[in-house]
Amino acid sequence: MALPFLLSFLLLFMAGDANNFPDLEYDVDTALVWKCPLSPDNNATVLYRDKDYQYVASSQELLNKNCTFVSNMFQLLSPFDELKEQNEAVKSKNVKRNVFHHSSWFKQYHNLSVMYDWYKSLAHEYSSNVAVKSIGKTIAGRDMLAVVIGTDSNQPAVYFQCLVHPREWITGPMCMYLTQLLARADSSNNILFSLLQQYQFIIVPVANPDGYYLTWSSYPKYRFWRKNLSKNKGSSCLGVDLNRNFNIKWGKHGSSSNPCSDIYHGDNSGSELEVKTITSYLRDLPNPLIGAIDFHSFSQEIFYPTGWSTALPDNIQYFKYITQWMASAVNQNGRHTFTVGQMGALYLASGTFTDWLLTDDFINSNKDKYGHKYKPIPITVELPPTRTVPITGFMVPPDQILSICKEMTPAVIKFISLLKKTTL
């Protein structure tokens, strides 16, 4: 979720003290958490360094916005024990077995290598229909994996992406859950089986492998890392926010030119290896992409474009139709209630993945074998909890993983079912 850190940046920037800003949100031992109302129904959490307490406590910006001090970050972290997977080697041996015991698999989080092993085991087991391949490398040399379900590349493609923002751990299991559901679907499941006859499914389960690795390897200090691990020229602060780096209104509203900011947009549009990999992979697909869901957390919202402005996409009625059906599908059965809206109407974010899918840059390459162009339907889903909880919203307790994945699934199926295979 971009909002808390966007707000923290704005608040400090507006207070005229941007120099206090560098790397504050990662110093979890000393970071202070504030809760600030954005509207009567919405709160954002704002982090400040411990040593800035006096400054922020008297900040007119915080006072004007009725922000309240919540806690020290460290106190928020301590009640949770997310990391049950201490022994990678032992767990890796169990990966194959767990492909077939998905309910236990979804009772805990998994680190990058175990997650990758699981995808490879799944592809091996369902090799007639599922393939996993590396589509590129990160700056640290880690693979970016893509999973393809379905062998007919004449069928239109539907794309899911998770863990662009590494701290949003709940999105990792979401992609795994959808992948195993689609991989295992047979004629006993009419809806999924029918969708598999019509589409090829493509999943990039960890869009930011370096960042996700860091959230485990340097736990808890970097549990809330959001960016990749690029070195930034002239700064000791690492990382670029990948979801501000795409070539769509790059460097505009809702992104930062400060390399220490959590929403740093990078040196150039599309400068990051992960972004280059995803964009060239999707441009080069043999089949047209007609729908995409980019999973994030947290706030329980389903967003349609546009993110970089409040201008509505020209097919807004269709976007509203499809997202409202998604919300009713999840809200009908789930414990969590999702709301629907335009991303830019809530907070502006330029350079996002979902906006890029609507650019000529992508659409001109998004063709079927006859050369017909397609305009995809890109949606951003923010998984639970709601925005009203503080920073612990990134730490969904492991015993909630399976129920969140299960309750979101009908919305994803509804999304796919309502996609139109129409050319431009």
Binding site for Zn ion (CB under 5 A): 165, 296
Q: What are phi and psi of 380, to 5 degrees?
A: -110, 130
CA–CA dist 221, 216 (Å, integer): 9
**Helices 401-418, 171-184: inter-axial angle, 10-degree rounding:** 60
Cβ closer to Zn ion: 99 or 164? 164
In the complex, what is the shortest distance from the CB of residue 94 to Zn ion, in angstroms, rounded to a whole number?
30
Q: What is the smallest separation between the CB atom of 165 and Zn ion, expressed in angstroms?
A: 3
Choosing from 25, 82, 272, 382, the catalytic residue is 382
Nearer to Zn ion, 91 or 296 (CB): 296
Residue 260: closest CA among 55, 49, 76, 33: 49
**In the complex, least distance from residue 128 CB atom to Zn ion, rounded to whole angstroms:** 34
Cβ distance to Zn ion smaller for residue 110 or 296: 296
- Contact between 308 and 359 (Cβ < 8 Å): no
- To Zn ion, the closest distance from the beta carbon of 140 in angstroms equals 21
- List residues bridging with 386 in a β-sheet: 299
Q: Which of 1/144 has CB closer to Zn ion?
A: 1
> What are the residues whose beta carbons fall under 8 Å from the beta carbon of 9, sequence distance 6 or more?
21, 256, 258, 261, 262, 263
Judged by beta carbon, residue 223 or residue 296, the one nearer Zn ion is 296
Token duo for residue 90: 């032992």
DSSP codes joined into one string, 199-243: -EEEEES-S-HHHHHHHHHTTTTTTT--S---B-TT-S-B---GG
Cα distances (Å, whole numbers) of residue 83 to 25, 27, 47:
21, 19, 23
Closer Cβ to Zn ion, 296 or 375, answer by number: 296
User: What are the beta bridge partners of residue 200?
Assistant: 157
C-alpha count within 13 angstroms, C-beta hemisphere, residue 411:
34
Specify the residue, 165 or 244, whose C-beta has the smaller distance to Zn ion. 165
Compute the least distance from the CB of residue 273 to Zn ion, in Å. 19
Q: How many CA atoms lie within 13 A of 63 on its CB side?
A: 8
Closest of 273, 277, 275, 255 to residue 265, by C-alpha:
255
In the complex, least distance from residue 380 CB atom to Zn ion, rounded to whole angstroms: 8
Task: Tell me the closest approach of the beta carbon of residue 296 to Zn ion, in angstroms.
Answer: 3
Distance CA 9, CA 22 (A): 10
CA proximity to 348, closest of 252, 221, 265: 252
88 has catalytic annotation: no
Catalytic positions are 382
